[in-house]
Amino acid sequence: MSQDKRVAFVTGGNRGIGYELVKQLASKGFKVILASRDPKMGHEAAEKLKESGLDVSFVMMDVDDQESIRQAAITVNEKYGRLDVLINNAGVYLNEYEKLLTMDPSILEKTMRTNFFGAYHVIHSFIPLMEKQGYGRIINVSSEHGAMRDMSFQGAGAYKLSKLALNGMTQLVAAEIKGDIKINAVCPGWVSSDMGGPSAPRTPKQAAESILWLATIGSEGPHGGFFRDGKRIDW
């Protein structure tokens, strides 16, 4: 792997956990690309971090739009020619209490499109940048709601299924990729954010710290695992 400055890419990076991930990665010496579907919010978030002396740039990307993802990957390749860390953080939580069979099916479709297919298309488009240097760290921000044991309890059906699928994809991709490229899933816990609400006990900073250790693990580090606070949890 080249000794040049490492490059990281964070989806949904303009607020909450994503913003903290960008900030902390940049503080650790990464060149960080903050991806957001909202050009105004994304640009403002990146500029705020740059004013603090952090090496952050903004790329507009909507994980629901495959062409947007493809163009973002082209931009990263042309500007930097490499990608060392990819964090799939963007996600939605649209049905806190609704049952799977009584909700509007469009809720399930939207949730799967963002939380699962969005992450899939991002990995599919960006992993060639990792493969060409034989190195990379991919982190999927998931949830313990996506553990198989949680499927026995009703509620949040669309969200649970999307994270279950994301966890399954993490394992499948781990079985397929070669070289020193590692992929893992992480549950950040219940976080005070637009998604988690103000009553959540964890801050975005705490959540980001629990995720970032996987960005810098060595070749002996975990691969294809599911973690919370640095501890492996059951799928």
For residue 188, the one-letter residue type is P
Report the C-alpha gap between 154 and 127 in whole angstroms: 35
DSSP characters over 159-180: HHHHHHHHHHHHHHHHHH--SE
Active site residue 159: yes
Contact yes or no for 210/230 (Cβ under 8 A): yes
Side chain identity at residue 164, one-letter code: L
| Selected catalytic residue, list 19, 93, 120, 159 | 159
Residue with tokens 């903004």: 58
DSSP 75: H
CB 14 within 8 A of CB 34: yes
Give the C-alpha separation, 70 to 125, whole Å. Answer: 6
Cα–Cα dist 119/217, whole Å: 21
- Active-site amino acid positions: 159
